[in-house]
Amino acid sequence: MSVTDELLANNARYVETFTGPLPLPPAKRLAVVACMDARLNVYAILGLNEGEAHVIRNAGGVVTQDEIRSLAISQRLLGTEEIILIHHTDCGMLTFTDDAFKDSVQEDTGIRPPWAAEAFADLDTDVRQSIARIQADPFVVHKDRIRGFVFDVATGKLNEVH
């Protein structure tokens, strides 16, 4: 049995107690941008319930063009107005550089990725970088309530980046 088959059996149990459907627009008018890291259960970390916030996630929790796309749709079509960014300690993105990653991919495939890997050397600095990218973007509407955090994978605590 593949992992996917095992998780589909979990889903069959989830269906038994499921109550829905909830409305489409996020009830708390919030969008969260977080790292894809497996240890970040965003709903649990923030005490979010289903239906309350958009959750956008990628390698690093960084803001690239696709997060701008998602945030623009979230705010313009679905009414969110507040943004939380979450990076975390012990992040994989701290363990390599863009150049080294691209060298390695080029060696393996013969093709150098035309995109940035978005590795970073400092968590707080990259949270600020992500916020700065949103602030500089012309398509995201609401920018007055954006706050960034580093989740501590050892304690579960969100530490704010100032």
- Residue whose structure tokens are 């550089």: 97
Burial 106-144 (b: 16+ CB within 10 A, else e): eeeeeeeeeeebbbbeebeebbeebbebbeebeebebee
| Residue in 1, 107, 115, 162 binding a copy of itself, rule: CB under 8 A | 115
What type of residue is 40? L
Indicate whether 77 belongs to the interface with a copy of itself (CB under 8 A): yes
Distance CA 29, CA 57 (A): 17
Q: Does 79 bind a copy of itself (CB under 8 A)?
A: no
Size of the site for a copy of itself (CB under 8 A): 86
Give the Cβ contact number of residue 34 at 10 Å.
Answer: 22
Q: Which CB atom, from 89 or from 124, has the smaller least distance to a copy of itself? A: 89
Residue closer to a copy of itself (CB basis): 118 or 126: 118
CA distance 49 to 44: 9
Applying the rule CB under 8 A, the residues between 116 and 145 that interact with a copy of itself are 116-118, 138-139, 145
User: Which residue type is seen at 122?
Assistant: D
- Kindly identify the residues of this chain, within the stretch 28-67, that bind a copy of itself according to CB under 8 A: 28-31, 36-41, 43-48, 50-59, 64-67
Positive or negative torsion for Cα 49, 55, 57, 60:
negative
What minimum distance in Å lies between the beta carbon of 135 and a copy of itself? Answer: 15
- Can residue 76 be called a binding residue for a copy of itself (CB under 8 A)? yes
1 binding a copy of itself? (CB under 8 A): no
Kindly tell me which residue out of 87, 97, 99, 113 binds a copy of itself, with binding defined by CB under 8 A. 113
2 vs 56: CA distance, rounded Å? 26
Beta carbon nearer to a copy of itself, 50 or 99 = 50
Is residue 70 a contact residue for a copy of itself (CB under 8 A)? yes
